[in-house]
Amino acid sequence: MTEFDAEAFDSQLTTAILGRRFTALDRVPSTQDLAREVAGESLRNPDGEVVLAEFQTQGRGRLRRAWSSPPNVNLLFSLILCPRARIARPTLITLLMGGSVREALTTGSGVAATLKWPNDVLIDGRKVAGILTEEGRRPDGRPFWVVGVGINVNGAREDLTGKLAHTATTVRAESGHETSREELLARLFAIFEERYGAMQRGELDDLLAWLRRRLGGMGAAVRVRVGDGEVTGAAAGLDDDGALVVRTSHGALSRVEAGDDVEWL
């Protein structure tokens, strides 16, 4: 496997903002932590800046779960967003990135991917990508978001060991061929930049409609652990903030946040 070719990526990039400032590294503890440091110390606007790494020693996902990946085969990156308007919907940002990953895979790699609330992309029920969105503050006090993304691209199914052997997959394993990581990332940024622009313009109704058409698992049973209790029911939809709506066996509707411990049954 070859290292990510930043020049080849740049030659295919069609965005106005996303990926125009791009750092590709061989090995880091976490692209998420490095991007947060860049954004938190930047005196200029780092909107759209990207940190990508071939290997992470301390990669993580939602609820502080570890994310491991062999080098030179997958996409591991963090994207800094500094929207002009205050956007208090981090779950919606995560879902929009997940929907964009799903779109990029489906249109470019020939696989039928599905968006799973709140932060996963699946192929045939197996996880192929995960997203983590975290908020921070710039030196001037303005908020920023760092969107971390991991996509299993060109690894073999045999690389997935332990629990991952039964729950995860790769684009290569599902499509039967290798995918250009540079082309995939450029396509993903083009798709997401359009959604990001719509969010800043306040076109939330259109964005929510776009997400709801791509969100899988509606009607499936879920268990949500909140504090010492739990709620069990069926996934019933998405509310306007990106939270999951669960209908309990008694017919009541419960709103589930991305920070809650959700188990799909």
Q: Which of 59-63, 196-200, 207-211, 260-264 has the lowest mean pLDDT?
A: 59-63
Average pLDDT over residues 3-15: 96
> Which residues touch 64 (CB under 8 Å, ≥6 apart)?
none
Note the pLDDT of residue 166.
84
Same domain, 202 and 239: no
Is 1 domain-assigned? no
Domain containing 255: what range? 218-264
Same domain, 137 and 170: yes
Is 89 domain-assigned? yes
163 secondary structure, DSSP code: T
DSSP readout, 103-158? HHHHHHT---EEEETTTEEEETTEEEEEEEEEEEE-TTS-EEEEEEEEE--S--GG
Same domain, 204 and 236: no
Same domain, 179 and 249: no
Same domain, 103 and 224: no
How many structural domains are present in the chain? 2
Same domain, 209 and 258: no
Same domain, 233 and 129: no
Same domain, 254 and 135: no
Same domain, 143 and 78: yes
- In tens, the pLDDT along 142-194 reads 889 999 999 999 998 888 877 777 889 999 999 999 999 999 999 999 999 99
Last-in-domain residue among 213, 230, 253: 213
Same domain, 126 and 86: yes
How are beta strands 120-123 and 229-238 bridged, if at all? unpaired
Same domain, 83 and 15: yes
Average pLDDT over residues 63-81: 78
- In tens, the pLDDT along 216-258 reads 989 999 888 877 778 889 999 999 888 899 998 888 888 888 7
Cα(202)–Cα(26) distance, integer angstroms:
38
